[in-house]
């Protein structure tokens, strides 16, 4: 998760909180997991939501790819 946090751009004073994960399984030589994180402001309100796709090759040399996308916040569009 530390590598995920490095890739999610949050302002000073905001925090990231895990909001779930889903194992997508191994397909086409990739083992893929989805993670969701909520960005909280200093008042503890959700102001952002991110989806992280973490994919690892099931064959040597077992490369890893992490991508981040911002998704809509529930109740805010």
Mean pLDDT, the chain cut into blocks of 10 residues (77 residues total):
89 95 89 96 95 94 94 70
pTM for the complete prediction? 0.84
- Residues 6 or more apart whose CB falls under 8 angstroms from that of 19 comprise 36, 37, 38, 49
């Amino acid at each position: 998760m530390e590598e995920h946090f490095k890739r999610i751009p949050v302002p000073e004073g905001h925090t990231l909180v895990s909001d779930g994960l889903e194992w997508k399984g191994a397909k086409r030589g990739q083992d893929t997991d989805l993670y969701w994180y909520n960005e909280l402001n200093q008042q503890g309100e959700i102001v952002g939501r991110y989806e992280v796709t973490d994919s690892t090759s099931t064959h040597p040399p077992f490369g890893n790819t992490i991508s981040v996308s911002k998704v809509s916040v529930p109740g805010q569009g």
